[in-house]
Amino acid sequence: MFLKKSAVIPVNMVGNGLSKAVFQMILIGLIMTMAAFPGCRPVSESEKAASIICAQVNGKKISLADFNQELQRLNLDMEAPYLESDEQIKSLRKELLLLMIDRELMVQEANAKGITVGPEDLEVSLKEIGEGYPPGKFSVEGYLTDPAYEGWRSFILQGLLTKKLIKQEIEPGLEVSEEEMRSFFLSHKQDFDKDKEFRARQIVVESEMEAREILKELKKGGDFAELARERSLSPDREVGGDLGFFGLGQMPPEFDEVMLQLKKGEVSDVVQSDYGYHIFQLMEINEAKEATWEEAKPKIMQILLAQKRDKAFHDWLHGLRSNARIKLNLKAMTESD
């Protein structure tokens, strides 16, 4: 409620606008990062699912039980409404299996190159995860030692192993020249220009009468932030109604109209929107600014390095696939466990 508008990535990933390459990158991101999410309890494996083989990678088998565990770890719902057809479901299952194969290839490559990870790497990773939780809500020791999480620990260690392999094999040869960066800057300069931004506080209530009462208190010298904490209905009341910085078009049109009329420090009249009755205080203005080469250079370096890293990774992975013995049994994934 009352949040800034943000870009939304379509969730119907297969066959509805996202390319196969982008879809694969999304799933690779899930496999590499969701492994470090400790909310997943171990999945029971039926004997039948464990005996059904979906793929073999250089002789290493991937069973239907392994595949089903991956689905649960990544929280991928095959009955989700955005999967509008059986074809989409089949495509999603196939892409996930292919990415499980890629991970197995990378684990095998890491083993062949003598790359290792151990309990100390797992502990460091768990501590990093724990930092994102409130005190007492995450036990590093529990996830390190609880036998129920043995499969989960193995999964995380595989992810750490592949990350170390990619860092060793891909990153050392990556370079971006000054000429490449300047060329990118000239062709994308408008992307680095900064639009005019506003920072404001708001108080939101249900009725105009209440809003008018609060406005009177403000005109008598009332503290805007304190009144927002006490009276506002919006979640940003916790920070005194602070909306942070936003540009024109990111908020409802009523907000933009007010921002363009106020001067720094001024308080608005009562403004009605679909969310209720608002009072705004304009805190800061950042004027539109044309990007300079020196300001844009660090960001351009990151963008071009990421592009080169992605291409190098996919070329390298293609080489691993070409030299591997891979057998697929896509029909197995439709069999019930």
Asked whether residue 306 is domain-assigned, the answer is no
Top mean pLDDT of 46-50, 146-150, 225-229 is at 225-229
pLDDT value, residue 84: 60
Closest CA to 275 of 229, 238, 247, 236: 236
In whole angstroms, give the CA distance from residue 274 to residue 254. Answer: 10
* Tens digit of each residue's pLDDT (9 = 90 or more) over 53-104: 999 999 999 999 888 888 777 665 555 555 567 777 788 888 889 989 998 9
Judged against a pLDDT cut of 70, whether residue 180 lies above it is answered with yes
pLDDT value, residue 118: 83
Asked whether residue 7 is domain-assigned, the answer is no
Q: Are residues 60 and 165 in the same domain?
A: yes
User: CA geometry: angle at 149 spanning 143 and 150, to 5°?
Assistant: 115
pLDDT value, residue 46: 67
* Tens digit of each residue's pLDDT (9 = 90 or more) over 98-146: 989 998 999 999 999 999 988 888 888 888 877 777 777 777 787 788 7
Q: Are residues 227 and 163 in the same domain?
A: no
In whole angstroms, give the CA distance from residue 204 to residue 199. Answer: 16
The CATH number covering residue 44 comes to: 1.10.4030.10
Q: Are residues 199 and 141 in the same domain?
A: no
pLDDT value, residue 302: 93
Q: Are residues 93 and 198 in the same domain?
A: no
Q: Are residues 66 and 135 in the same domain?
A: yes
DSSP 207: -
Judged against a pLDDT cut of 90, whether residue 23 lies above it is answered with no
Asked whether residue 242 is domain-assigned, the answer is yes
Judged against a pLDDT cut of 60, whether residue 256 lies above it is answered with yes
pLDDT value, residue 204: 96
- For the beta carbon of residue 276, count every other beta carbon within 10 angstroms: 20
The proportion of the chain whose per-residue pLDDT surpasses 90, expressed as a percent, equals 48
Q: Specify whether the CB–CB gap between 35 and 122 falls below 8 A.
A: no
Q: Are residues 277 and 140 in the same domain?
A: no
How high does pLDDT run on average in the chain? 81
pLDDT value, residue 45: 53
Alpha-helical (H) ranges within 4-148 are 20-33, 47-51, 64-73, 86-112, 119-130, 140-145
Sign of CA dihedral 124, 126, 129, 131: negative
Q: What are the φ/ψ torsions at residue 119 (nearest 5 degrees)? A: -55, -35
Asked whether residue 256 is domain-assigned, the answer is yes
Q: Specify whether the CB–CB gap between 288 and 248 falls below 8 A.
A: no
Q: Are residues 40 and 170 in the same domain?
A: yes
Query: What are 292's two structure tokens?
Result: 């300079």
pLDDT value, residue 2: 45
In whole angstroms, give the CA distance from residue 81 to residue 61. Answer: 32
**Count: domains in the chain:** 2
* Tens digit of each residue's pLDDT (9 = 90 or more) over 279-312: 999 999 999 998 899 989 999 999 999 999 999 9
pLDDT value, residue 331: 83
Query: What are 296's two structure tokens?
Result: 């844009």
Segments forming the whole domain that contains residue 209 = 194-286
Judged against a pLDDT cut of 90, whether residue 265 lies above it is answered with yes
pLDDT value, residue 6: 34
Q: Are residues 112 and 65 in the same domain?
A: yes
pLDDT value, residue 53: 92
